[in-house]
């Protein structure tokens, strides 16, 4: 436990609690949790399935075959990727669960795991739980927030067992060109590294951009696994359902760990997930349109205020350069009652940024901009 990084969001949580107790109307752009409800046809599928006693037992470890088939069909239609639902798809209790468990399958004490900085904190903590050694790959604006694989020292690459990548990216909102995925495959093959791609935001995209699956890349199926989830796509964060897809050996390794830890995802939730993946997809398009409107409002408002900020092509985050992320986030909360996430909480290279989660309606974004205009920033 002593090796886990300090929880750097504590200071902001504390300050937010204080403001709320003072009766301040806090506008919270901190949480990466959609404010939109789960579409009704998915909720209906859960209700129906929950009433059926067949679904009240222990689920299967790997997930219902019908769910894994729905995932495979979705991957085929959406990405043109062919998956064998029996060996190349595994149900997850949310993608965080798969990310948290996969190092246990492949990382021995002292093995190196390549982790982006800034990045989703679980890549680092899951490595530490497996007693692996974290090597931080800086994500820099000048590289489009992609790690520079050529900068990884040869001795580090030789000891590396796993690399975590995530595009569309949280927290930077960057997207990756296909050529980057090709580079990752070449690098991983050369050094015998398992690639874990976190694709939680593939469906939250704008302006005609369509995010690929890492598994579309030539050779990826041999060395890679993709963690995916219904959380962000269908506003199902509370439901805890996701999928791991890719190389049968890697999927089996993760499955073996999971068999010894959890007993699968509730069958009724898997039925609802089938309804989500196989049902009408206009709910996804509507959610993206909502985020796009919010993004445009926030980005143009922040730009007018003189901030260095770009409209992201994907995710529901806006990543804004500031001088000192913790000082800026604390100041904004203290003086304007606005919560943003300090980038330092995602790694040292996040120290010059704050993240806005646009999981709040346009009226709240307008109010926040109005408050910021009054601050004389």
Ligand X SMILES: *Cc1c(COP(=O)(O)O)cnc(C)c1O
Binding residues for ligand X, rule: CB under 6 A, are: 32, 94-96, 120, 166, 170, 198, 200, 229, 231-232, 237, 242
Between residues 32 and 255, which has the closer beta carbon with respect to ligand X?
A: 32
272-to-34, 84, 245, 246 alpha-carbon distances in Å? 18, 21, 19, 23
CB of 64 to ligand X, least distance (A): 18
- Distance from C-alpha of 233 to C-alpha of 29, rounded to nearest angstrom: 19
In this complex, which beta carbon is closest to ligand X, that of residue 95 or of residue 126? 95
Q: Which is nearer to ligand X, 79 or 164 (CB)?
A: 164
CB of 152 to ligand X, least distance (A): 21
CB-nearer residue toward ligand X: 9 or 336 = 9
Which residues neighbour 70 within 8 Å (Cβ) at sequence distance 6 or greater?
273, 274, 277, 278
Indicate the residue among 325 and 372 with the shorter CB distance to ligand X.
Answer: 325
Nearer to ligand X, 130 or 243 (CB): 243
In the complex, what is the shortest distance from the CB of residue 33 to ligand X, in angstroms, rounded to a whole number?
8
CB of 122 to ligand X, least distance (A): 7
What residues have CB less than 8 Å from 42, skipping those under 6 apart? 234, 236, 272, 273, 275, 276, 279
Closest approach of Cβ 306 to ligand X, in Å?
29
Shortest distance (Å) from residue 200 CB to ligand X: 4
Tokens of 134: 């974290």
């Amino acid at each position: 436990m002593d090796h886990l990084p300090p929880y750097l969001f504590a200071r902001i949580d504390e300050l937010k609690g204080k403001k709320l107790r003072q009766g301040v109307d806090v506008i919270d752009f901190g949480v990466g949790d959609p404010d939109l409800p789960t579409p009704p046809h998915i909720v209906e599928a859960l209700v129906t399935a929950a009433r059926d006693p067949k679904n009240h037992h222990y689920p299967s470890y790997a997930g219902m075959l019908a769910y894994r088939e729905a995932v495979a069909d979705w991957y085929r239609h959406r990405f043109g990727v062919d998956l064998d639902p029996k060996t190349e798809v595994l149900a997850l209790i949310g993608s965080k669960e798969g990310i948290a468990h996969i190092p246990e399958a492949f990382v021995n004490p002292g093995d190196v795991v390549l982790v982006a900085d800034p990045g989703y904190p679980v890549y680092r903590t899951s490595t530490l739980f497996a007693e692996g050694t974290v090597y931080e790959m800086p994500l820099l604006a000048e590289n489009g927030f992609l790690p520079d694989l050529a900068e990884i020292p040869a001795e580090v690459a030789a000891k590396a067992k796993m690399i975590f990548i995530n595009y569309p990216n949280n927290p930077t909102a960057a997207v990756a060109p296909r050529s980057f995925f090709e580079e990752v495959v070449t690098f991983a093959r050369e050094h015998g590294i398992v690639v874990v791609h976190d694709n939680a935001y593939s469906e939250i995209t704008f302006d005609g951009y369509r995010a690929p699956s890492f598994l579309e890349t030539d050779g990826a199926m041999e060395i890679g696994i993709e963690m995916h989830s219904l959380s962000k796509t269908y506003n199902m964060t509370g439901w805890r359902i996701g999928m791991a897809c890719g190389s049968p050996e890697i999927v089996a390794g993760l499955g073996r760990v999971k068999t010894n830890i959890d007993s699968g995802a509730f069958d009724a939730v898997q039925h609802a997930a089938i309804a989500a993946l196989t049902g009408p997809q206009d709910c996804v398009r509507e959610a993206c349109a909502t985020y796009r409107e919010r993004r445009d409002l926030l980005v143009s408002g922040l730009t007018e205020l003189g901030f260095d900020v770009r409209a992201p092509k994907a995710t529901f985050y806006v990543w804004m350069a500031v001088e000192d992320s913790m000082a800026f986030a604390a100041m904004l909360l203290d003086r304007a009652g606005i919560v943003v996430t300090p980038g330092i909480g995602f790694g040292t290279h996040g120290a010059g940024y704050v993240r806005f989660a646009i999981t709040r309606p346009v009226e709240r974004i307008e109010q926040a901009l109005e408050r910021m205009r009054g601050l004389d920033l």
